[in-house]
Amino acid sequence: PPTAGGQTEGGGPVCGATKMGNNATKMAQDAMGATKKAQMAVGSGLQSMNKCISKETGEREDAAMGVPVTIGLHGPEIVIDGDGMRVSGQGVALASEPIGQDRAYFEFKIARDGDWAVGVAKKAAHAKDGHLGQEAVSWGLRASQLTCLEGDVVGVAFDQGDMPTKLKFYHNGNAQGEHTIEGIRGEVYPAVSVSEHASLLCEFDGENGFIYPPPAGFSGVIACRSLM
């Protein structure tokens, strides 16, 4: 029979107790391993989501695995040419992605002067005639509001991180505070409208580089289609 110290009278180990102890240790280790894997999976998922929806920094965090933001829905008389980012013709064109982040910046370079407007719009605006800002589904800055030359750049910054929302404009890197639009609600897309021979080159996500740096805290439009 075993002694009080847990050994047999002959000094040998108690094998049954040792096996039970080993099994208990292994089960505890397995449980700890499963918990660690689950924590890593949750952390990875949150990190991926944060790349799309926590938008405090000015760095472009591409959560869409390289999905570019290009020209999306547009009117029947819009012409897309060049590298697929130059808009001419007549009507409204939207970016391929809505603005899902808190603070987004994008640019338009005037390739050929004419009548144009840049800003943001709801999805329905692509089928509208006329320019941005003429109906309650779009908001923008019109060519007649600035003195621009061919080659000039109009930057647009949309801030929906604070209320009221603010749509701000820049001319060759200089803020145009008097043209700020506040209180835009709902999902909107970067947008441009053209007529009278105007042609604008669009840069939505900064993939090809912005001509002027975004304001502090802003980044190019992030494609969030891989969030699911």
What is the full per-residue pLDDT of the chain (228 aa) written as tens digits? 444 444 444 444 444 544 555 555 556 556 555 555 555 544 444 444 444 444 333 444 444 456 899 999 999 999 998 778 999 999 999 999 999 999 999 999 999 999 999 999 999 999 887 899 888 899 999 999 999 999 999 999 999 999 999 999 999 999 999 999 999 999 999 999 999 999 999 999 999 999 999 999 999 999 875 444
CA–CA gap between residue 224 and residue 77 (Å, rounded): 28
Backbone angles phi, psi at 3, to 5 degrees: -85, 175
> What's the N-to-C CA distance of the chain in angstroms?
64
Q: Can you give the length of the chain in residues?
A: 228
Cα 133 to the chain's mean position, in Å? Answer: 24
Instruction: Answer whether 129's CB lies under 8 Å from 194's CB.
Output: no
CA angle 131, 135, 138 (to 5 degrees): 70
Q: Could you tell me the two tokens for 124?
A: 């329905």
Q: Is 158 exposed, middle or buried (0-12, 13-18, 19+ CB in 10 A)?
A: buried
Beta pairing partners, 182? 166
- What is the radius of gyration, based on Cα positions, of the chain? 29
The pTM is what?
Answer: 0.71
Cis bond upstream, residue 76 (ω within 30)? no
